[in-house]
Structure 1
Amino acid sequence: MDVSEYLRFYAELGVSHLKLPETNGKVRAFTPNPAEVNSSAALPVPPIADSGSLEAIRDEMGDCRRCKLAAGRTHLVFGSGNPKAELMFVGEAPGQDEDLQGLPFVGRAGQLLTKIIEAIELKRNDVYIANVLKCRPPNNRPPEPDEIAACRGFVERQIKQIHPLVIVALGKFAAQMLLDTETPISRMRGKFFDYHGIPLIPTYHPSYLLRNPAAKREVWEDMKAVRGRLKELGSCYYR
């Protein structure tokens, strides 16, 4: 493993120092398991309805009142980025900053996501970013079943319309919803799953990284796997 790659990645994310675990004088080399990073798996995923254009999907949502979250929102947060993106990120739900601006991932977690994207030699406007929920849950609480039911079809249609080469599911909720599983994110991250013919890789949510900086190393491994898969698929990003 090239240590300089780790250092460049951490520098991109604004990390100036790392707290190392106690080793009792013994140092164990970190060697990623290629089978874990590059393996493919299949989970049952429900079919998706006809997508329509992104504009048509947004128009259909309108001033959405399909669940109780509408009562407390400032803006509906649909998604943003390149409508022909070859890489798509799907997160959980808008936070306070996103609710105020009507755009996904614009707060501290969003700034970190931008740095993660740049670390694999892309720009934010190269990709498409959306959340499963389009309205902010009160106090950023976990989404509830009726809210998921109200929004799920829309993000699935966004994915179908964009049809990226690779999807990155950010965090437990997005990964579990898209893959229709209850498998913990720690067991899914770093592996590719089949989502209607599209490789989908779960990784930790940027907000989790803000609370647990040590997990950035695992995210870097995941993002290198994303970059590698995009190259394998002939992505125009790396030509």
Structure 2
Amino acid sequence: MWENLEVEVDICERCKLGKKYGNIRIVGQGNQEAEIFFLLDEINRKEAEKRLLLEDENGKLLKKFFEYSNLNIDRCYFTTLTKCYKTDNIIEEKDIEMCRNFLDTQIALVNPKYIISVGEKPTKALIKDQKVDMKKMFGEEYSYFGTPVIPIYDIDYFLNKTTDKEKWKIANIFAKI
């Protein structure tokens, strides 16, 4: 099934991102039988260059935070809302909707115990029945077709602008799961 998904993503032309010849695509990475599924916003330039997620400075800091929280990265799977790199890093709602089937397939294949939605856009994509207010939703538990979803701030905000209390809360969330 994973091979089929990768081929589908590789040949996808549902939106302008997929139709762009030579566009870099990343389906996801990590343990395909993970307990914890991280849904990130988009692929950034550094990740596109290396064709791996979490390869920029924020990703490296997040990995260190995992170590600090005793969250084994081998228990995790990482993906983004869209599978193609967009040079201006502004992913539109229509691009997200065009990739929705890929995301739902990934969640079904991984069948995680938890989904961590990293930032406002991933949280909105999974929790549609209410207004997204990250300050209120941060660290709370919601459901996506029966799978617990825990929203956290996007990586840049989390690593550079949150308080120690908020970082401690995320460390506790990671330690519990």
TM-score normalised to the size of structure 2? 0.88
Corresponding residue of 1:148: 96
Contact 2:139 2:169 in 1 (8 A): yes
SS at match of 1:199: strand
2:106 to 143, 158, 162: 158
Corresponding residue of 1:114: 63
Runs of 5+ consecutive residues of structure 1 not aligned to the other structure: 1-52, 231-239
> For the structure 1 residues 202 and 73, does the alpha-carbon distance in structure 2 shift closer, same or farther, using more than 3 Å as the test?
farther
Q: Partners in 1 of 2:145 and 2:171 — Cα distance?
A: 21
Q: Partners in 1 of 2:99 and 2:28 — Cα distance?
A: 13
Q: Does 1:96 align with 2:45?
A: yes
Task: Give a deviation string over 1:205-225, Cα, whole Å, max 9, x none.
Answer: 11223441x345314303412
The residue type equivalent to 1:159 in the other structure is I
- How many residue pairs get aligned? The number is 175
2:29 to 67, 76, 80: 80
Contact 2:17 2:23 in 1 (8 A): no
CA RMSD of aligned residues (A): 1.9
Q: Partners in 2 of 1:156 and 1:104 — Cα distance?
A: 19
TM-score normalised to the size of structure 1? 0.67
> For the structure 1 residues 69 and 219, does the alpha-carbon distance in structure 2 shift closer, same or farther, using more than 3 Å as the test?
farther
Task: Give a deviation string over 1:96-136, Cα, whole Å, max 9, x none.
Answer: 01111222221112112212222221332331111111122
Q: Does 1:207 align with 2:156?
A: yes
Contact 1:89 1:128 in 2 (8 A): yes
Q: Partners in 2 of 1:136 and 1:205 — Cα distance?
A: 18
Q: Partners in 1 of 2:95 and 2:122 — Cα distance?
A: 13
SS at match of 2:42: coil
Contact 1:90 1:174 in 2 (8 A): yes
Name the % identity. Answer: 27
Q: Partners in 1 of 2:164 and 2:60 — Cα distance?
A: 14
